[in-house]
Amino acid sequence: MRKQTLVMTALVASLAGGVAIVSSRAFAQAPAAANPKITQLQGCIDHFREARKGWSQEPTTQAAYDEKIANAKRLIATLQGGTDVPQDKIDHACKSPKAAPY
């Protein structure tokens, strides 16, 4: 009986801890999820970083990716500052650079 109580207590404690982690993680992501434009730009930044690492070691292409990343970060800062950015600017910022191999 005592062993069963200990197991149940451990189970409840682990579930409560898991809920706390999930809820804090969800809370931390709430501001970005609140604005789909920011989420889209963050996804573009991740894509550009991966493409910069793997697709080309050519300095021109890497510089083009660096500029695209910087532009996306500026747009995110603008959005977080409360200024709206048109969707066509977001779409343009997420296009691959002309120097990209794909």
The residue extents of the domains of the chain are: 1-30, 35-102
Q: Distance between CA atoms of 70 and 100, rounded to whole angstroms?
A: 16
48 and 68 in contact (C-beta within 8 Å)?
yes
pLDDT of residue 1: 54
Write down the residue that tokens 């573009």 correspond to.
44
pLDDT of residue 30: 47
Q: Bigger pLDDT: 71 or 55? A: 71
Q: Bigger pLDDT: 68 or 59? A: 68
- CA angle 48–51–54, rounded 5-degree value: 150
pLDDT of residue 31: 52
